Structure 1
Amino acid sequence: MKKFSVFFCVVVFLFSNPVESKAAPLKQQNDGVYIVYMGAAAPSNNGAMRKDQAQLVTSLIKRKRNALVYSYTNGFSGFSARLTAEEARSIAQKPGVVSVFPDPILQLHTTQSWDFLDSFSNKKISTAIRPGSAPDQPSSSGEADIIIGIMDTGIWPESASFNDNGMGPIPNRWKGKCEKGDDFNSSNCNRKIIGARYYPDSDDQGGQLSDSGSARDHNGHGTHVASTAAGSLVDDASYYGLATGTAKGGSPSSRIAMYQVCRSFGCPGSAILKGFDDAIKDGVDVLSLSLGGSGGFKPDFTTDVIALGAFHAVEKGIVVVCSAGNSGPTPSSVVNEAPWIFTVAASTIDRDFQSQVVLGDKTVIKGGGIHFSNLTKTPVYPLATGESVKLDNGTRSVDARDCVPQSLDPAKAKGKIILCETHDTDYGNDDRKEEVKSAGGIGIILIDTEGRFIAPKFDTFPGSIIIENEGNQVYNYINSTRNPVATILPTVTITGNKPAPVVISFSARGPSLASTNILKPDICAPGVDILAAWPTEANLNRPIPGKNPPGYYIISGTSMSCPHTSGIVATVKAQNPKFSASAIRSAIMTTAIQTNNQNAPITTSAESIATPYDIGAGEANPTASIDPGLVYETETADYALFLCATGYNTSQIKLISKTIPKDFQCPDNLTEDAISSINYPSIAIFRPRDGEPPKTVTRTATNVGPEESVYTATIEAMTGIKATVTPNKLVFTKEKKKLTYKMTFTATPSIPQIDIFGSIIWTSGKYRVRSPIVIGTA
């Protein structure tokens, strides 16, 4: 749903640019505000500024009293301020400054979804020999001590999904606060919502620019996301009676800390960095950002605010989960592609909102859509195509077939159900519905095969979306009947729909433009037609006459798949408190599912078999990920090597990170191929050419299962590639908890000129640990 897609603008005006990159065009920036990024904070600074940072800020304030917007002192150093271009250029030359860039404005990217994941993963566990189950409530106090930080539009604290019934005291380690503001005070926080911060901006005269004076959500997106990740159990939740069930988040006993970094016009990068800075200090365990950028542009990690903030959060042990973006299915549209970010694609669940079409010949077509109308169940309403009711004023037939605005003749359309095509992507379903409605039509049928996977909202206007084959059925009926008639039945909720999951078309795809040698996205999770909490503010709800807003809403996007994964992350961390951030990501990736509820390979909404560029390691499995057997731990040094290989020098990296070894140096003559050997749970290499030396990657697996364990490797066959693993058996003991293996890839004369996909699977008598393999062509 484009309205809720989170996209950010990668800035093009840089004052420190160590790598050449194709930057995204600047769509919008916070006028006159620049971010001065100075890398890592001083060790043990207790929130104090670094000396060089303090000197710059003091000098700036002396010149311009209200120039400072935010200072960053906890996880990293720097500040944002109102500067002229010349001032920004001058500051960029100062010692200790990594980069200076304009403040970008980023734009925004349940019940059955968790039931589907739980039942689906449990079904697979029997074949994948996985023990255990994911509890609705924690078996110990561990999960209740997990704190999920949400960076979004705020929160609606009165929602039943944020009740704290049965929750114990707030963890002592929590250092955050519940900030008082407009229509929000400390009593709006409880043992579920333990923190709420907001970030008002101010102009040069000290006036507030923010359109929100508190952490209260006046958009809905943040409330929906927060309840998906960690909402409490709520019986009989629904959207006006649809999708009825028990609403719950992925980790219903975890705590929520909201960081309202987004406003009506977008999410300033300066506020996002301040949110990261505060979250690191406050003590969150997981950060969930349903924010991203326009796909198709190589990121610059000196100006990518999410990548910068996430790097320092991960250094502090925080798992940072981000949406992959809604620019799919275009290749290389994935965003948030830094290897320290857990990047999430979106898929469907097994629930369908059916809005059946009944034709005059008694044919029933199981269309989709959400509407609350009162047409009779008998097909008595005249049925016409958009083209047959077009305006006779030069309107093109193709526009009338698509029912675009100002294409239909009220004299011809009045009282009829109109069949509309959807080829013109400049217009959406609401535009077509409003055109039919304004022309006097009494219902709309939309033909859109891929769009059928998402239920459009028609409100009280009768509507249904159908696939192309069904559209042909309707056309044939209309053309073979003198007086074609039809009706559209009220929406009903259907569960057990097959196939599911399906990767939805809007979900952004790999390969990563940051590097062919890292696979993104990492994982896939439910993101289509997700029911979750919503503000009851009247103007945030689609009106249904005579009914009060239900407090729950159904929306789609990678914004929804991100908090699903954040909830799983929280559960894995609760059950495995000693796991590092990278170990948690590994646990979820290596236990992911690659088959659907028909026991066939997961497909896309275009009906092709999903590849790792679509789903990463696969569909997240909340049960198996608790007990993964083996994990791949990615260290800060791995991320530093990634930065070296993508164009950064040693001095810049040492400014950014204080946790890498003091003797760290970027290797000489390093190429991007070195990225393939960072200790990641997936493997991606640039294709070897026939006759070239083999390419070798290394991985180190850490045993987190029984001390005495033996794993044997199986490699999925890859056309045109000979792959070997050495050793092909890993024998873990009490003394040997970490073991390294090498994979070698050799091209054969039959290697195809396309991307090649495979996997390596390590199995013991109890576990199956899978890493996807991608051999890319570009």
Structure 2
Amino acid sequence: MVGGQVGSFGVVVVGEEWRSEKMQNMVVGKRLEQGMAKSIEVGLILHQGSGMLSSKLSTYLSLLLILFCVPLTPALAVKKSYIVYLGAHSHGPGVTSADLHSVVDSHHEFLGSFLGSKEKAKDAIFYSYKRHINGFAAVLEDDQVEEIQRHPIVISIFLNKARKLHTTHSWEFMMLEKNGVVHPSSLWKKARFGEDIIIANLDTGVWPESESFSDEGFGPIPSKWKGICQNDNTTAGFSCNKKLIGARYFNKGYIASGGNVSASMSTVRDNDGHGSHTLSTAAGNIVHGARVLGVANGTAKGGSPHARVAAYKVCWPPVDGAGCMDADILKAFDTAIHDGVDVISVSLGGSPSDYLEDGLAIGSFHAVKNGIVVVASAGNDGPDSGTVTNVAPWIITVAASTLDRNIQNSVQLQNGLLLKGTSLSKPTTPQENFYPLISAAQAKAANASTDDAIRCKKGTLDPKKVKGKILACLRGETALIDKGHQAALAGAVGMILCNNKTTGSEIFAIPHVLPAIHVNYTDGVQVFDYIASSKDPRAYITTPETVLHKKPAPFMASFSSTGPNSVTPQILKPDVTAPGVDIIAAYSEAANPTEEDYDKRKTSFNMISGTSMSCPHVAGVVGLLKSLHPDWSPAAIRSAIMTTARTRDNTGNPMRDETEKDKATQFNYGAGHMRPNRAMNPGLVYDLTVNDYLDFLCSLGYNQKNITKFSGTGSTYQCHKKHGLNILDFNNPAITIPNISPSVPVTITRTLKNVGSPGVYAAHVRLPRRMFSVSVEPSVLMFDHIGQEKSFKLTIEVKNAKAVKDGYVPGELLWTDRLHYVRSPIAVASLSDIKKP
């Protein structure tokens, strides 16, 4: 499920055709033009039959007829679906059904005052957010929206926007086990594998029959659970158990935006595979013998394999490329908070926007306010800078990187060169039989360009030239899986997929429909050179096999979205990276492994890549930390994961980007690659309260009234804007200064909380001394009990303005007592370079 086109979120898109806005407008314009032509034709016919009329009168009447014959409809205002956000509810946890009814009625009363009656309001509203989030989703006209926005109780009103969806060895790679053995000191053992933690997943649903969600060996459902198993569609045969304890679906926002949901689709059952994959990565059972199409045999398990899970289906068949609507996502958040979940994993997203006009940011804030940790994917729009999304500081935002396992096969060239690559497709041809090898450029059809043919685009290959040969295709512009399909349609017996220079060493194990191998850029050049230099080039492709302990690893995935944060550049995003390339996990047996109509294969497990896959890795570890440290706040857990992450690969060198040549930076991996065992004992954390988040919003210019409604804390919170609150003092584990002036030192304040043993911590700052002068005051902090907090100030001054160039300069702040290492990434840019990451 990987390819050359990359959706904003989730898995890297493998086969979906994207229609441009221009194309859509052309289609609409053509229809309008055809309608006008028919009207003119009617006018001409009537004109020809009016012989007794004078020429001028005939012409005049004909024009009138044309106007009246044009199929005009009354000038009705366009209606769209919107979310009206009113903040938090004043009712506490002991809410009654009468309270909930009163909330719904108040929404009807409020909207009815604009629409003319409560009945009209009832027809317009399709969701009332009534438990923790206060607001409603409704179908409205633009002028109504403007009027509602002006009302003093409304915080924001925004479109019901669409969002897109964004493993057997990965846990060993992160040291939770070794050779299948879990050490007593492992976080898995310490946290009892996440026993009785409840992890929610907002996605495409779940395949309940998967072994990953069997309840064998599970005890009673935790008493804190208040959710349901929504199985009102009896034809879908959906049921929950003591592992999969809850399931709900939300599609009213999707339907209100033009989505079509048949009766058979109205179920939590996962017909896509994405939701089952992400949920089982976070908390799937330990399943031995998991494999994908007979390849990559191993033991599948989630991060919190003994946790309970709940599926909230918010994503449906894409409309214009996206099928997850804000109104449905917000309803799922409101419901999950009520149901009693501990962790919410969200492998989807859209373009970043104002925090109070972003359904995911709003929903996650209310979850965090109730002690629930929210983990979200960073997006699949890399490697371009500034593409990271889900950037609210109360969310753990996860980038994607590789692991040290490879599903490896080889291509043997007849000149003796053996090149290694990857694939999930087994050879169906006899092994060690050489086949003719041809470049796709040499196999181009008569009407195709060489550039299109070498990329194996649809309709560019001549079957007469391809049949019976192995075809070499260049990566780029079309989905990877489609290149194999086009090769097979042209009669190829195999395919070598060669990376271009941009994609470098990043290769994917894909279940192609013919024997295939994906090789890196350097090896791809050798393939094309061999073809060009040989009179009779030949090759054969070997069977894939699993290879462990590959080096270097990890390195960043090219698709992983990068910083800086486009909404608030002072907040580093992403926060952390985790395995997101070639991840094996449960899948839907209603879907095929490539999501292509021509693929009739089925599989219980699938290998997928994307930040959708890295996100649940972190969610699973969060479940373990919640089990081990139930008193830790969401911010403390986020800090523990970030400050214990690593920035070096398994060769001891700095992590690289997808080319394996350039160093990755904080804008690629955040604080670094997650280390679960270190996160359970970080020593110190940068903690945050709800009021700290409100101070953050206050520093951005949000007014007191809206912040108070947002928090639901009434008059207890006061915005400290008048005291000169500095956003740089927000107690984030990372430090980003996007606009340092050469003439003015910048001083920031941070507060550390002790969550470990007593200790004396010393500060160490790493920033280029030729560029900056740096000081920490105090430079030593002494902690003698758990919960103790101490503050410090970090001052950075530009020493050499000419040396501070080329965008952000990376560094780090380290506090250590020689037992714990509390590391914070630093990124500093001068005023003239803030747009260059």
TM-score computed with the length of structure 2 as normaliser: 0.83
Whole-Å Cα distance in 2 between the matches of residues 36 and 630 of structure 1?
40
- Summarize deviations over 1:488-520 as a string: whole Å, max 9, x none: 112222111111111100000000011221100
Whole-Å Cα distance in 1 between the matches of residues 298 and 438 of structure 2?
38
Tell me the amino acid that sits aligned with residue 678 of structure 1.
F
State whether residues 650 and 666 of structure 1, in contact with CA within 8 Å, keep that contact through their aligned partners in structure 2.
Answer: no
Per the alignment, do residues 121 and 499 of structure 1 end up closer, same or farther by CA in structure 2, a change over 3 Å counting? farther
Q: Indicate yes or no: 2:88 matched with 1:34.
A: no
Q: Indicate yes or no: 2:132 matched with 1:72.
A: no
Report what 2:613 is aligned to: 560
The equivalent position to 1:285 in structure 2, one of 342, 362, 377, is: 342
Tell me the amino acid that sits aligned with residue 462 of structure 1.
P
Per the alignment, do residues 284 and 588 of structure 1 end up closer, same or farther by CA in structure 2, a change over 3 Å counting? same
Report what 2:825 is aligned to: 772
Report what 1:19 is aligned to: none
Per the alignment, do residues 709 and 322 of structure 1 end up closer, same or farther by CA in structure 2, a change over 3 Å counting? same
Per the alignment, do residues 6 and 408 of structure 1 end up closer, same or farther by CA in structure 2, a change over 3 Å counting? closer
The equivalent position to 1:148 in structure 2, one of 175, 184, 199, is: 199
Structure 1 residue 573 displacement after superposition = 1.0
Per the alignment, do residues 210 and 92 of structure 1 end up closer, same or farther by CA in structure 2, a change over 3 Å counting? farther
List alignment gaps of at least 5 residues for structure 1. Answer: 9-23, 123-129
Tell me the amino acid that sits aligned with residue 764 of structure 2.
T
SS at match of 1:145: coil
- Summarize deviations over 1:399-439 as a string: whole Å, max 9, x none: 2222222222222222111222224x2x1223322332222
Q: Indicate yes or no: 2:720 matched with 1:682.
A: no
Structure 1 residue 468 displacement after superposition = 2.4
Structure 1 residue 775 displacement after superposition = 0.8
Structure possessing the higher radius of gyration over alpha carbons: 2
Per the alignment, do residues 736 and 168 of structure 1 end up closer, same or farther by CA in structure 2, a change over 3 Å counting? closer
Q: Indicate yes or no: 2:352 matched with 1:302.
A: no
Whole-Å Cα distance in 2 between the matches of residues 275 and 547 of structure 1?
33
The equivalent position to 1:363 in structure 2, one of 417, 423, 431, is: 417
Tell me the amino acid that sits aligned with residue 683 of structure 1.
I
Report what 2:568 is aligned to: 515
Structure 1 residue 459 displacement after superposition = 3.1
SS at match of 1:572: helix
Q: Indicate yes or no: 2:329 matched with 1:272.
A: yes
Tell me the amino acid that sits aligned with residue 478 of structure 1.
I
State whether residues 246 and 311 of structure 2, in contact with CA within 8 Å, keep that contact through their aligned partners in structure 1.
Answer: yes
State whether residues 637 and 660 of structure 1, in contact with CA within 8 Å, keep that contact through their aligned partners in structure 2.
Answer: no
The equivalent position to 1:722 in structure 2, one of 773, 784, 792, is: 773
Tell me the amino acid that sits aligned with residue 248 of structure 2.
R
The equivalent position to 1:199 in structure 2, one of 224, 241, 250, is: 250
Per the alignment, do residues 214 and 304 of structure 1 end up closer, same or farther by CA in structure 2, a change over 3 Å counting? same
Structure 1 residue 442 displacement after superposition = 1.8
Report what 1:412 is aligned to: 465
- Summarize deviations over 1:693-719 as a string: whole Å, max 9, x none: 21011111100111x321111111335
Structure 1 residue 686 displacement after superposition = 2.3
Report what 2:450 is aligned to: 397
Whole-Å Cα distance in 2 between the matches of residues 86 and 547 of structure 1?
49
The equivalent position to 2:239 in structure 1, one of 188, 191, 197, is: 188
Whole-Å Cα distance in 2 between the matches of residues 299 and 775 of structure 1?
24
1:532-547 aligned at under 5 Å gives the runs: 532-537=585-590, 539=592
- Summarize deviations over 1:368-408 as a string: whole Å, max 9, x none: 22212222332421111122222233x32222222222222
Whole-Å Cα distance in 2 between the matches of residues 546 and 709 of structure 1?
60
Report what 1:612 is aligned to: 666
The equivalent position to 1:752 in structure 2, one of 785, 795, 804, is: 804
- Summarize deviations over 1:558-593 as a string: whole Å, max 9, x none: 000000000010101111110011001111111111
The sequence identity of aligned pairs, in percent, is: 39
Whole-Å Cα distance in 1 between the matches of residues 717 and 506 of structure 2?
53
Structure 1 residue 5 displacement after superposition = 4.5
Question: 4+ residue stretches of structure 1 with deviation over 4 A?
Answer: 2-8, 49-52, 57-60, 119-122, 183-187, 207-211, 538-548
- Summarize deviations over 1:203-240 as a string: whole Å, max 9, x none: 79xx9946621111111111001100000111111112
Whole-Å Cα distance in 1 between the matches of residues 349 and 286 of structure 2?
29
Q: Indicate yes or no: 2:372 matched with 1:318.
A: yes
Structure 1 residue 174 displacement after superposition = 1.1
Whole-Å Cα distance in 1 between the matches of residues 666 and 177 of structure 2?
20
RMSD: 3.1
Structure 1 residue 81 displacement after superposition = 1.3
Tell me the amino acid that sits aligned with residue 321 of structure 1.
V
Report what 2:696 is aligned to: 642
SS at match of 1:614: helix
SS at match of 1:623: helix
SS at match of 2:530: helix
Report what 2:707 is aligned to: 653
- Summarize deviations over 1:527-585 as a string: whole Å, max 9, x none: 11100001222656779999973310010100000000000101011111100110011
Report what 2:491 is aligned to: 440
Whole-Å Cα distance in 2 between the matches of residues 436 and 185 of structure 1?
37
Tell me the amino acid that sits aligned with residue 766 of structure 2.
E
Per the alignment, do residues 420 and 152 of structure 1 end up closer, same or farther by CA in structure 2, a change over 3 Å counting? same
Structure 1 residue 662 displacement after superposition = 2.3
Tell me the amino acid that sits aligned with residue 712 of structure 1.
A
- Summarize deviations over 1:646-683 as a string: whole Å, max 9, x none: 33112221121124872512414958xx2211111111
Tell me the amino acid that sits aligned with residue 735 of structure 2.
I
Report what 1:56 is aligned to: 110
Per the alignment, do residues 186 and 192 of structure 1 end up closer, same or farther by CA in structure 2, a change over 3 Å counting? farther
SS at match of 1:440: coil
* Stretch of structure 1 that moved more, 316-325 or 192-201: 192-201
Whole-Å Cα distance in 2 between the matches of residues 42 and 572 of structure 1?
31
Report what 2:53 is aligned to: none
Per the alignment, do residues 362 and 88 of structure 1 end up closer, same or farther by CA in structure 2, a change over 3 Å counting? same
State whether residues 695 and 745 of structure 1, in contact with CA within 8 Å, keep that contact through their aligned partners in structure 2.
Answer: yes
SS at match of 1:434: helix
- Summarize deviations over 1:444-492 as a string: whole Å, max 9, x none: 1121052753425253402112222212222332233221111111222
State whether residues 384 and 478 of structure 1, in contact with CA within 8 Å, keep that contact through their aligned partners in structure 2.
Answer: yes
State whether residues 149 and 279 of structure 1, in contact with CA within 8 Å, keep that contact through their aligned partners in structure 2.
Answer: yes
* Stretch of structure 1 that moved more, 346-355 or 519-528: 346-355
Structure 1 residue 636 displacement after superposition = 2.1
SS at match of 2:453: helix
TM-score computed with the length of structure 1 as normaliser: 0.90
Tell me the amino acid that sits aligned with residue 96 of structure 1.
I
Report what 2:645 is aligned to: 592
State whether residues 327 and 507 of structure 1, in contact with CA within 8 Å, keep that contact through their aligned partners in structure 2.
Answer: yes
Structure 1 residue 271 displacement after superposition = 0.7
Report what 1:247 is aligned to: 300
The equivalent position to 1:338 in structure 2, one of 357, 376, 392, is: 392
SS at match of 2:676: coil
Report what 2:153 is aligned to: 96
Whole-Å Cα distance in 2 between the matches of residues 220 and 546 of structure 1?
14
Tell me the amino acid that sits aligned with residue 152 of structure 2.
P
SS at match of 1:118: coil
* Stretch of structure 1 that moved more, 372-381 or 618-627: 372-381
Per the alignment, do residues 240 and 208 of structure 1 end up closer, same or farther by CA in structure 2, a change over 3 Å counting? closer
Per the alignment, do residues 693 and 61 of structure 1 end up closer, same or farther by CA in structure 2, a change over 3 Å counting? same
Report what 1:712 is aligned to: 762
Report what 1:127 is aligned to: none
* Stretch of structure 1 that moved more, 728-737 or 363-372: 728-737
Per the alignment, do residues 451 and 66 of structure 1 end up closer, same or farther by CA in structure 2, a change over 3 Å counting? farther
Whole-Å Cα distance in 2 between the matches of residues 659 and 313 of structure 1?
15
Q: Indicate yes or no: 2:529 matched with 1:479.
A: no
List alignment gaps of at least 5 residues for structure 2. Answer: 11-20, 26-77
* Stretch of structure 1 that moved more, 632-641 or 500-509: 632-641
Structure 1 residue 687 displacement after superposition = 4.0
Whole-Å Cα distance in 2 between the matches of residues 360 and 43 of structure 1?
75
